[in-house]
A and B are shown apart, each in its own frame.
Chain A
Amino acid sequence: MDLPFLTIREVSELIKRGEISPVELTGSILSRIEGVNGRVHAYISILKDEATDAAKEAEKLISSGTYLGPLHGVPISIKDIFVMKGTRTTCGSKILENFVSPYDATVVEKLKRAGAIIIGKNNMDEFAMGSSTENSYFGPTKNPWDLERVPGGSSGGSAASVAASLCFASVGTDTGGSIRQPAALCGIAGLKPTYGRVSRFGMIAFASSLDQAGPLTKTVEDAALMLNAIAGGDPRDSTSVHIPVPDYTRCINDGVRGIRIGVPREYFINGIDIEIEKSVKAAISLIEDLGGSIEEISLPHTEYAVSVYYILAPSEASSNLARYDGVRYGFRVSDADSLRDMYMRTRAQGFGAEVKRRIMIGTYALSAGYYDAYYLKAQRVRTLIKRDFDEAFKRVDVIMTPTSPEAAFKIGEKTGDPLRMYLSDIFTIPCNLVGLPGISVPCGFTSSGLPIGLQILGKPFDEETLLRVAHNYEIHTNWRERRPPI
C-alpha cells in the first residue's frame, strides 16, 4: 500500500484498527520527503526527530487503548508562521532565520492535543506577503504539477506539501487568499475559516484584522476534520470568537437540494482565463443538477477590493513589523554605532524587497496628511464591500466564483511587477475584508494539465454549509484521481 497517497480519513481508519502504526506512517512520509522535497522545496524545517518521538508516543498511547481521534498519529505540516516550542520559526524571513520559540501557538497546542504528528514547517512568502512563495528568504517552492511554475502563495509550501503527499494536511494562513489561491494552483482543498473562528495566538501577525488560520487538505472531509481540531475561542486572542464548535463532518453528507447558490457577475470579467471560466461554470451547473438553485447576483464594489486591501494590509503590517528591531530576537547587524543605525541597517538587511515595499506603502498611508485620503478612505470602501455581501446573503446561502483568475504561472514571470502580482488575489481578497469563510476545491485542469480551483464563500460562522456544498461537489467529480507527476 502506498501510504503517503491516502487521505486523513483513510489512514485514521487504519490506525484506529491497528493495521498501521503511527511510527510506520511517519517513516513513510519522512522517506518520501527525503526523496521528493529536494525538487519541490515545500519545507523550511523538517522535524525528523521530534516527529519520530511524537509518533512513538502516539503508538504507545493507541496500543494502550487511548485513541484521541482522527488526527491521532497522522503526520501533518504547519506553515512556518506558527511558533512551536523549541523549534525554529522563520516566517520565511532572514530577520527570524535563527529564532527559536519559547512557546507553542494555540493552533500547535490544539494539533498536538489531537495527537497529530507535526512533521515539518512549510516554506512561505516572507511574512506571508506574496502570491507565489517566491518572496521566501529560503528560496521558492515549486509547483508539484510543473516544477517550473509557482505553487501560489503565501502558503505555497503548505499547498505543495499536501499536493506532493509530503504530509496528510497542512495548516496555513490566509490574509488575502494565501490558503485558497495556493490550494487552487496545487489542486487541493484549502479552507479559510470565518475571522475569529481560529485563534491567532502564536501566529506571526501580518494584518491583524484580516489574518486567519485554516487547513489545506487532499479532500473537503479532511478539511472538516482539521477544522474540528483547530477551531474555537481562545482567552489569549481577544479577536477569537467564543461560540461552540460543531462537528464539521456531521452535515457534509447532506445533499445540496434547496441550497441557494449566488453567482456574482463581477467575478466573470474580461481577463479571466477562458479555461478557468469554463471549468467554474461547469462546476456551478453540476451543483444545479444536484438540486441547488442558482441565482445571478451582483457585488458591485468588487473592482475596488484590491485597492482597499493593498492599503489596509500594508498599513497594519507596517505597525506589526515594527517589532523586528534587532533587540529582543532575530537578526541584528553586528557593527552598529548607534541604536538608530542598528534599527535602520538591521531592517534593511533583515527584510526582503516585498516586505520593505509593504512597510513603505503602509507607513505612507498612515502618515500625517495621507491618513484620510488612503487609510480612512479604504476603510469606508470596505464598508461598501461588506454591504454588497450582506445584501447578497439575504438571497443566497453560498457564493461561487473562480479562486484565481489564472492557473499556476511561471517562476519569475511576475516578480518584476508588484502590481501585477497583487492582481493575482483579485477574487480572494473581498472575503478577508469582510471576514467571511471561503474554500477552494479542485474543479478541473487546463489543457496543459494545471489545476483549476472553485471558490465557495459562505456566511460568517457557517463553515458547515460551505463544507457541505464543497464536499457534495467533490464526491460527484473525479479530479482527485489525478496526481502530480512527482
Chain B
Amino acid sequence: MRISKDAARHVAELSMIEFKEDELEKFTEQLGNILEYMEKLNELDTSHVEPTFHVLELSTPLRDDVVKPCLSSDEALESAPQREEGFFAVPKFIED
C-alpha cells in the first residue's frame, strides 16, 4: 500500500518526531514499500482466529503493600538534562 506524504506527516506528528521535507519524502516511500510487503497477510482468512497478544497466560501478580527501599530523589534526578529544586525542569508549556 502506498501512503501519501500527508499521511506520513500525520504519523510523524503522532510519533513526536520532526522531519525535514526531503527526509519525509524518503520515509514515505520506504514506509509504503514496507506496508506493501505486509499486505501479504491479507492472503489469509483470519475471521475465525483469535489474536495472540501474548504467548504466556498472564496474570497480575500481587505483593504485600510494604514500603521497600527505593531511589532517592537525587539518584532519580542524576541523569536529568535539567533540574530545579528537586524536580525535572522543562520548557514552559502553560501560557500566561
CB-defined contacts of B42 to chain A, threshold 8 Å:
377
Determine chain B's interface SS by DSSP, over half rule.
Answer: loop
CB-defined contacts of B51 to chain A, threshold 8 Å:
376, 379-380, 382-383
A344-B18, A380-B50 known; A357 vs B30 contact (CB < 8 Å): yes
A471 at interface by CB-CB < 8 Å: no
CB-defined contacts of B15 to chain A, threshold 8 Å:
318, 347, 356, 359-360, 363
- CB–CB A367/B41 < 8 A: no
A206 at interface by CB-CB < 8 Å: no
**Cα distance, A272 to B33, chains bound together (Å):** 23
A363-B11, A383-B50, A384-B46 known; A345 vs B79 contact (CB < 8 Å): no
B78 at interface by CB-CB < 8 Å: yes
Q: Which residue of A lies closest to B33 (CB)?
A: A419
Q: Which of A56-64, A148-156, A327-335 contacts B (4 or more CB under 8 A)?
A: A327-335
A341-B91, A347-B16 known; A383 vs B49 contact (CB < 8 Å): yes
- CB–CB A348/B61 < 8 A: no
**Cα distance, A337 to B91, chains bound together (Å):** 7
- CB–CB A99/B79 < 8 A: yes
CB-defined contacts of A100 to chain B, threshold 8 Å:
78-79
Q: Which of A128-136, A223-231, A235-243, A443-451 contacts B (4 or more CB under 8 A)?
A: A235-243
Q: Which residue of B lies closest to A383 (CB)?
A: B52
- CB–CB A103/B71 < 8 A: yes
A20 at interface by CB-CB < 8 Å: no
B17 at interface by CB-CB < 8 Å: yes
A94 at interface by CB-CB < 8 Å: no
- CB–CB A435/B55 < 8 A: yes
Q: How far is the CB of A308 from chain B (nearest CB, A)?
A: 7
B16 interface neighbour in A98, A344, A361, Cβ under 8 Å: A344
CB-defined contacts of A386 to chain B, threshold 8 Å:
52, 55
- CB–CB A102/B38 < 8 A: no
Q: Which residue of A lies closest to B26 (CB)?
A: A353
- CB–CB B27/A360 < 8 A: yes
Q: How far is the CB of A108 from chain B (nearest CB, A)?
A: 16
**Cα distance, A345 to B80, chains bound together (Å):** 17
Interface string of B8-36 (1 = CB under 8 A from A): 10011011111100000001001101110
- CB–CB B53/A304 < 8 A: no
- CB–CB A304/B44 < 8 A: yes
- CB–CB A330/B38 < 8 A: no
A177 at interface by CB-CB < 8 Å: no
**Cα distance, A330 to B27, chains bound together (Å):** 25
**In chain A, residues 175-205, which have Cβ atoms closer than 8 Å to a Cβ of chain B?**
195-196
- CB–CB A419/B37 < 8 A: yes
Q: How far is the CB of B16 from chain A (nearest CB, A)?
A: 5
A326 at interface by CB-CB < 8 Å: yes
CB-defined contacts of A330 to chain B, threshold 8 Å:
79, 81
Interface string of A293-309 (1 = CB under 8 A from B): 00000000101101110
A325 interface neighbour in B7, B16, B56, B71, Cβ under 8 Å: B16
A378 interface neighbour in B41, B56, B76, Cβ under 8 Å: B41
**Cα distance, A39 to B52, chains bound together (Å):** 44
- CB–CB A360/B79 < 8 A: no
- CB–CB A364/B31 < 8 A: yes
CB-defined contacts of A344 to chain B, threshold 8 Å:
16-18
**In chain A, residues 217-272, which have Cβ atoms closer than 8 Å to a Cβ of chain B?**
235, 238-239, 241
CB-defined contacts of A343 to chain B, threshold 8 Å:
16
A351 at interface by CB-CB < 8 Å: yes
**Cα distance, A485 to B35, chains bound together (Å):** 42
CB-defined contacts of A340 to chain B, threshold 8 Å:
16, 93
A380-B46, A381-B46 known; A419 vs B16 contact (CB < 8 Å): no
- CB–CB A359/B17 < 8 A: yes
A348-B17, A384-B49 known; A326 vs B81 contact (CB < 8 Å): yes
Interface string of A277-306 (1 = CB under 8 A from B): 000000000000000000000000101101
**In chain B, residues 53-87, which have Cβ atoms closer than 8 Å to a Cβ of chain A?**
53-56, 58, 60-61, 63, 71, 75-76, 78-82
CB-defined contacts of A364 to chain B, threshold 8 Å:
3, 7, 11, 31, 35
Q: Which residue of A lies closest to B47 (CB)?
A: A380
Q: Which residue of B lies closest to A348 (CB)?
A: B18
- CB–CB B55/A434 < 8 A: yes
- CB–CB A307/B49 < 8 A: no
Q: Which residue of B lies closest to A386 (CB)?
A: B52
15 contacts between A and B (CB under 8 A): A100-B78, A100-B79, A103-B71, A195-B55, A307-B38, A318-B15, A325-B16, A326-B81, A329-B81, A332-B81, A342-B90, A356-B27, A363-B14, A367-B11, A419-B34
- Given contacts A100-B78, A307-B41, A328-B88, list 12 more A-B pairs with CB under 8 A: A209-B55, A235-B63, A307-B38, A325-B16, A330-B81, A337-B91, A338-B91, A339-B90, A339-B91, A360-B15, A379-B52, A419-B34
